[in-house]
Amino acid sequence: MLIALAAPAGAATSTWTAAGGTSDFSDAANWDAFPTPNCIMVFPAGAAFASKGAPVNNLIGQTIDQLNVSEAYVITGNAIVCKNINDNSAGTVNIALPISTAGSAVLTVTVTIAGATLNLSGKLTGAGPVSYSGPGNKRLNGTINNTLSGLSIVAQGFLVLDSTATEAISGPLQVDSGATARLVRAPAIKNSVVVTVNGTLDLSATTGSDGADTELIGGLAGTATAANISLGANTLGCTAQVAPTNYAGGFSGTGGFRQSTSGTEVLSGTAFPYTGTTRLAGGEMHIWGSLIGSPVIVTSGTLVLANDATVGATTLSGGASVLSLDETISAMTMHATTPSLTIGSGSTYLVVTKSPTNFARVSTAAVNVSGAVLSVDTSLFSPAPTSVMTIITNTGSSPVVGTFAGLAQGATVVSSTNSGTTFTISYVGGSGHDVTLTGVAAASDTTAPTISAISSGSITGNSATITWTTDEASTSQVEFGLTTAYGSLSTVNAALVLSHSVALSGLVGSTTYHFRVRSRDAAGNLATSADGTFATAADTTAPVASTITAGSITGTTAVITWTTNEASDSQVEFGTTTAYGTTTTLDTSLVTNHSVTVSGLTISTLYHFRVLSRDGSGNLVTSADGTFTTTDGTVPVASTSSGHHCGGGSVFGFLMVTLMLSLRLHRRGRILVGARSQPHA
């Protein structure tokens, strides 16, 4: 039975008849209708197959909408561009044509009968995704690498990777629920791609190797908790070179999972019945679920255990290994369980505190911390003095083996993020074999910082930078002036730092300045240095005057404003010509924002002006000419508007009130001053 997808409107169908004298596609007698672009190409069962079951595509640039095969044909020849391949036979179909997707369109490959096999041995190329559907086997068995960059989706049935090349899968691979991707030969998947498993990834019978692993991929993802990676005795490696990936499924078998290089891999599943070893050799591995049967070995990178994770015997070795229970990806309980915990010399156990009850802790039956580094991060929460944190719960009957580096029984542990927070460590705490940290009340700080390495630098004619260091975090401020009385004080920088830098400005060139530095610690203890001096360079650069404006203009006055890039005095020349002729009184204040009022002006007159500013070193800037015009001195006449509302409409009237001012002085019946009228608002 031939099953084909619905053809696009107007698509022609060409059926193989094998009536020609050759097996070539180009022999028109082999078709009931010669193939046209985007046609449906049909290879039926029966006489056509019996006559010529090995067609050869000798056409160039053939584009096919559907390739439908109903018998065990062997089709070879030139490359095609295709959207659908449908294998409806009950046996094995071999398509050895190079196949490309149609741009970004999906290429759907369907094998409709369970147990049937479609072999695709030609090179797969293109940017579009390829969806493998139907219950039968889809087998990639080429001899050269595929270069398909689009997503390969195993939607149904089986995708069998049996290529003698190294990249049968060259783009991302997705295995849907109920479907299986089976690796026969390794390597089969490009090392940098992400494999998303929501069904089954089967490596149980894989032969060959990919470096240190049976198969090496770029990242492992999947959201289905029922997903499974069947390892057998083989190992799946992950480079984790891409963005963090999360796999929620499980593993089975005696093989292992190994992460190397950089990046982050999250294992969040709870169904991990496999007994192989989980290895971390770089980057970060986050375990949120259960790997109780799998030993965990860390030789480099950070192992993050959270969400009450359960893992097998856990061993960290080498100076690049870190055990952390602070889940930065998701807020989870910082607790995990392992039958034994060995943190080797140079490896680090990072303890983060988030609340009185949420801090890093491991439950284990056997503990060895000989020479390991203990780091305590209290940046999120600082435990109260005398509070006790059990960071390793020893459920076994044997005492802790060894001590953390430099931390004998009862030693002081200082927070790595706050030197004022300290603990004492015990290896016989809790039930007698636990590792505990007990908070210590901070001693009162009455010691001022120690100031050293004071230096003056970057000295110009009007500026200098003072630098120094302190032995504890403290503020930054500088006193400066022409004598040891100083007189000027920089703005305090309240940031608590060890390395200090303060820029001084508004200085005078060719001048010796005295200075001293001040630093205050978090407890309020102030340190003041001894006196120091520096000499400014000769200042030969005049100020730069900008944003010059004339405003607040009346008939007799105006206000001239401007800014300078350094502190300088203020003066204005003005007059009715560019000869000016009048100069304002010099304002000797050294400022950067200037304002000078010019007065004694004549109404309705154009005035020319220019501004003058001299810095502390005597460098003078004179601006270009500017102008303004005084007003005519007339008082504006006011008027009143009155609005009235009537009958849903508005009537606006303008009311001019004329005030009749009459002054009639009568003397012997004479009017000395007559009446006159004046309009007002």
- Let me know how long the chain is: 681
CA-closest candidate to residue 354, choices 374, 373, 334, 335: 334
Residue 301 lies in a domain: yes
Cβ-contact 125, 150 below 8 angstroms: no
Q: Look at residue 428 and give its three-state secondary structure.
A: strand
Average pLDDT of span 118-122:
98
> Do 423 and 455 fall into the same domain?
no
> Do 303 and 370 fall into the same domain?
yes
Residue 214 lies in a domain: no
Residue 632, pLDDT > 80, answer yes
pLDDT digits (tens, 9 = 90+) for 286-316: 999 898 899 999 999 999 999 899 999 999 9
Instruction: Write down the pLDDT at residue 635.
Output: 57
Q: Look at residue 29 and give its three-state secondary structure.
A: helix
> Do 455 and 439 fall into the same domain?
no
> Do 530 and 551 fall into the same domain?
no
Instruction: Write down the pLDDT at residue 636.
Output: 53
Residue 659, pLDDT > 80, answer no
Buried b (16+ CB within 10 A) or exposed e, 637-652: eeeeeeeeeeeeeeee
pLDDT digits (tens, 9 = 90+) for 549-576: 999 999 999 999 999 999 999 999 999 9
Residue 489 lies in a domain: yes
Dig out the tokens for 208 from the structure. Answer: 């060959």
CA-closest candidate to residue 366, choices 408, 407, 402, 411: 402
The fraction of the chain above a pLDDT of 90, given in percent, is 80
Instruction: Write down the pLDDT at residue 430.
Output: 86
> Do 356 and 493 fall into the same domain?
no
Quickly count: other Cβ atoms within 10 Å of residue 53's Cβ. Answer: 17
pTM above 0.85, yes or no: no
Where in the sequence is the domain holding 611, given as residue range(s)? 545-629
More confident residue, 631 or 9: 631
> Do 613 and 530 fall into the same domain?
no
Dig out the tokens for 222 from the structure. Answer: 């999947």
Task: Name the phi and psi angles at 594, rounded to 5.
Answer: -115, 145
Dig out the tokens for 88 from the structure. Answer: 């409806």
> Do 350 and 436 fall into the same domain?
yes
- The residues, ordered by sequence, that sit 6+ positions from 182 with a Cβ below 8 Å of its Cβ are 158, 159, 160, 161, 202, 205
Q: How confident is the model at residue 320 (pLDDT cuts 50, 70, 90)?
A: confident
Instruction: Write down the pLDDT at residue 8.
Output: 53
CATH number, domain with residue 587: 2.60.40.10
d(CA 4, CA 14): 13
At residue 459's C-alpha, the angle toward residues 453 and 465, to 5°, is 45
Cβ-contact 297, 276 below 8 angstroms: no
Q: Of 112-121, 212-221, 504-513, 598-607, where does mean pLDDT reach its minimum?
A: 504-513
Task: Name the phi and psi angles at 672, rounded to 5.
Answer: -80, -40
Distances (CA, A) of 597 to 372, 546, 586, 608, 633: 76, 18, 12, 14, 18
> Do 315 and 436 fall into the same domain?
yes
The fraction of the chain above a pLDDT of 70, given in percent, is 91
Buried b (16+ CB within 10 A) or exposed e, 324-361: bbbbeeeebebbbbbbebbbbeebbbbbbbbeeebbbb
Residue 655, pLDDT > 70, answer no
Residue 675, pLDDT > 60, answer no
- The residues, ordered by sequence, that sit 6+ positions from 93 with a Cβ below 8 Å of its Cβ are 69, 71, 72, 73, 74, 75, 87, 116, 117, 118, 119
Average pLDDT of span 415-440:
92
More confident residue, 477 or 320: 477
* Burial (CB count <10 Å: 0-12, 13-18, 19+), residue 601: buried
- Looking at 420, 443, 466, the residue that finishes a domain is 443
Instruction: Write down the pLDDT at residue 344.
Output: 95
Residue 574 lies in a domain: yes
Dig out the tokens for 150 from the structure. Answer: 């689009």
Q: How confident is the model at residue 441 (pLDDT cuts 50, 70, 90)?
A: confident
Mean of all residue pLDDT scores within the chain: 90
Q: How confident is the model at residue 534 (pLDDT cuts 50, 70, 90)?
A: very high
Residue 364 lies in a domain: yes
Give me the number of domains the chain comprises.
4
Q: How confident is the model at residue 616 (pLDDT cuts 50, 70, 90)?
A: confident
> Do 343 and 464 fall into the same domain?
no
Residue 475, pLDDT > 50, answer yes
Which stretches of 140-200 are DSSP H helices? Answer: none
> Do 408 and 492 fall into the same domain?
no
Residue 317, pLDDT > 50, answer yes
> Do 584 and 616 fall into the same domain?
yes
Residue 127 lies in a domain: no
For 276-338, give the secondary structure using H, E and C.
Answer: CCEEEEEEEEEECCEECCCCEEEEEEEEEECCCEEECCEEECCCCEEEECCCCCCCCCCEEEE
Dig out the tokens for 133 from the structure. Answer: 């559907």
Average pLDDT of span 462-481:
96
Instruction: Write down the pLDDT at residue 272.
Output: 77
* Burial (CB count <10 Å: 0-12, 13-18, 19+), residue 672: exposed
Instruction: Write down the pLDDT at residue 641.
Output: 39
d(CA 405, CA 420): 21
Instruction: Write down the pLDDT at residue 21.
Output: 94
- Looking at 470, 500, 535, the residue that finishes a domain is 535
Residue 669, pLDDT > 60, answer no
Q: How confident is the model at residue 330 (pLDDT cuts 50, 70, 90)?
A: confident
- Looking at 443, 475, 509, the residue that finishes a domain is 443
> Do 475 and 399 fall into the same domain?
no
Quickly count: other Cβ atoms within 10 Å of residue 415's Cβ. Answer: 19
Q: How confident is the model at residue 677 (pLDDT cuts 50, 70, 90)?
A: very low
Distances (CA, A) of 532 to 234, 316, 466, 500: 72, 53, 10, 16
Residue 335 lies in a domain: yes
Residue 481 lies in a domain: yes
